[in-house]
Structure 1
């Protein structure tokens, strides 16, 4: 083996060291990202168990810990309402199991009855499949872990749910890093799509234009990921006293996210028109240069997202572009298709201006009348 290779004991093949290091970095990154969630789960489950066992004297408060762990989970989306919804589902399952135990005792057929009733009630109460699954799992645990006074397990479940909700506010997960990473991924994908369309227009390359259209269509996935992490951050910051300072920043990020959502939709319109125009193989430098300038403006929006002090620079740059967006002046005697392409760029400029704090009405007023 060469110095740049290593032997894999799991697969029995030679693996490049660079791939091994990359895999190790991913694993360590996953561990760092999960650290706040691990802390939340350990603290909440331990506190719920200790309270139920040592303070209330419950002999084996298994459900106090399991409800806490199941409601928090390791997923990054730990919004309070999602935690509360999961807790509610589990408490429904425990309550039904307690009623079955009280009326019919424990056994295999009682287990079947409890599961059937739990699934029916859960599906009636919530359209979310996860709600029903959480309910039936806790129903099974409650039926199998028989012992103690009636409805003692329900009290344990309530303690676990309360601990999960309390720790969501007092030990919030580090969502800012996740949210900024999702935003960066969107801006990376946006830049790649715009750059591809620019090159296609400069070369009259239909194949490259189609690739740009595909990239523009894929942007919604990145928008949705940013939306989820940003909503999580805002909802946790709303109830956590430790994230109070982040509320204004998250509000600013939400403004930018909403504007970028519209910008990606408008870019898809531009990409479709560019693909149609590139079918003749002719170079179109004017719309290409204009779109390249807006791509530079999008990078300034990205910088302003992390540093609000950069917003004036981004606003001035994008406002200068918007004032020039008169298709007839930019391309005298141009064809209808190319003029329509330039007209489609105008809403994109408005969206980027809104992303850096310009009211939508003022942003539209910057555009020349056509």
Structure 2
């Protein structure tokens, strides 16, 4: 018997001479994302540049102010790069900044400039702003502008108050005369909601066909995540509607914003009903029994919802969407389906009825007509 050397039998000898080093893959920066951000923000950039330049030029060349810094800063801060440049939000920001400037000008006029005056100005601006508005951004805007007044002295009192008002007026005028048309972005947000809605419904349909509780749980999670998309769409529609209301250049888009708000409202109700259905599917899937009847009905409702998505960009799809959903709604009678489904399945089919009503009204059908399309029980 050949003796085994200690080196060969030791644990260290079985280890590789080199060990793999775990490295973390670096996230690569891609210029495409940056270009997309620039493209999305291009209207806001143009709007800010035009408004700030106009405000500065008016204060400097017309009013004769040597360095009207606040005319530009108030304009830039009130407009911002966010898409929600509705007039009310711009006005609230302007008022907040003008309040901060006024408080600072009063303190400078009475007590002069110094470190304790700066602290007093910031405290007073924040207190007054919080008293006037519940919006945190309102108070921050007031504090920032008041600090600028304190650290950049001028010889003429209250001249920066005039600069701030000029900047605010310029921001409001540009909002109306050079608006950011949000219709395309709003339509895209609606399509994103309907795409996510379709994904959640498709997952629930698969869970029903296979009796799969895992897919049912996944579908419920997807249905719950729809609310953030609904809220995002609502904010976009409200912002676009307010801008179109004051801008003569977006007057023709007012009816389209009203239509999208109607679709958004009923799809909000549809997503809530979908969450009810998803919870029911999770409960029923515990027995791992396939339910093809309910799956087929839900899949046909999803097909109608896809036509609603097409109708966001082309209203001519709305009649087809209404008729497609109406055809499914007419079959949502638990009594007729009683011979082919259990009592438990019939409760799920009953839960599809309000979803069908919401989808029909989202497609433009009057509510009374949509309810009449559902068989009476």
The interval holding the TM-score normalised by the smaller chain is over 0.9
Alignment of 1:205-284 (within 5 A): 205-284=212-291
**What is the Cα deviation at residue 29 of structure 1?**
1.1
**What is the Cα deviation at residue 339 of structure 1?**
1.0
* Unpaired runs of at least 5, structure 1: 1-11
Structure 1 position 69 matched with structure 2 position 76: yes
**What is the Cα deviation at residue 286 of structure 1?**
0.4
SS at match of 1:41: helix
Contact 1:53 1:61 in 2 (8 A): yes
Moved more, 295-304 or 317-326: 317-326
Q: Which runs of 4+ in 1 moved over 2 A?
A: 12-16, 330-337
- Counterpart among 112, 116, 119 of residue 112 in structure 1: 119
**What is the Cα deviation at residue 174 of structure 1?**
2.9
**What is the Cα deviation at residue 13 of structure 1?**
9.4
TM-score normalized with structure 2 length: 0.92
Q: What does residue 4 of structure 1 align with? A: none
CA RMSD of aligned residues (A): 1.5
- Counterpart among 80, 87, 95 of residue 88 in structure 1: 95
Contact 2:193 2:230 in 1 (8 A): yes
Structure 1 position 159 matched with structure 2 position 166: yes
**What is the Cα deviation at residue 200 of structure 1?**
0.2
Contact 2:100 2:143 in 1 (8 A): yes
Structure 1 position 320 matched with structure 2 position 327: yes
**What is the Cα deviation at residue 104 of structure 1?**
0.3
Contact 2:334 2:349 in 1 (8 A): yes
- Counterpart among 361, 364, 367 of residue 371 in structure 2: 364
Q: What does residue 355 of structure 2 align with? A: 348
Structure 1 position 37 matched with structure 2 position 44: yes
Contact 1:328 1:334 in 2 (8 A): no
- Counterpart among 101, 104, 114 of residue 97 in structure 1: 104
* Unpaired runs of at least 5, structure 2: 1-22
Q: What does residue 3 of structure 1 align with? A: none
SS at match of 1:235: helix
TM-score normalized with structure 1 length: 0.93
- Counterpart among 31, 49, 61 of residue 56 in structure 2: 49
Contact 2:191 2:312 in 1 (8 A): no
Distance 1:239 1:65 in 2: 23
SS at match of 1:60: coil
**What is the Cα deviation at residue 247 of structure 1?**
0.6
Which of structures 1 and 2 has the bigger CA Rg? 2
> Deviations along 1:36-57, whole A, 9 cap, x unmatched?
0000100000000000000010
Contact 2:68 2:160 in 1 (8 A): yes
Distance 1:46 1:125 in 2: 30
Distance 1:308 1:253 in 2: 10
Q: What does residue 285 of structure 1 align with? A: 292
**What is the Cα deviation at residue 315 of structure 1?**
1.2
Q: What does residue 7 of structure 1 align with? A: none
Distance 1:170 1:277 in 2: 56
Q: What does residue 127 of structure 1 align with? A: 134
Distance 1:274 1:190 in 2: 16
Q: How many residues align?
A: 355
Distance 1:351 1:369 in 2: 17
**What is the Cα deviation at residue 64 of structure 1?**
0.3
**What is the Cα deviation at residue 24 of structure 1?**
2.3
| Residues 149 and 240 (structure 1), Cα distance of their counterparts in 2 relative to 1, 3 Å cut | same
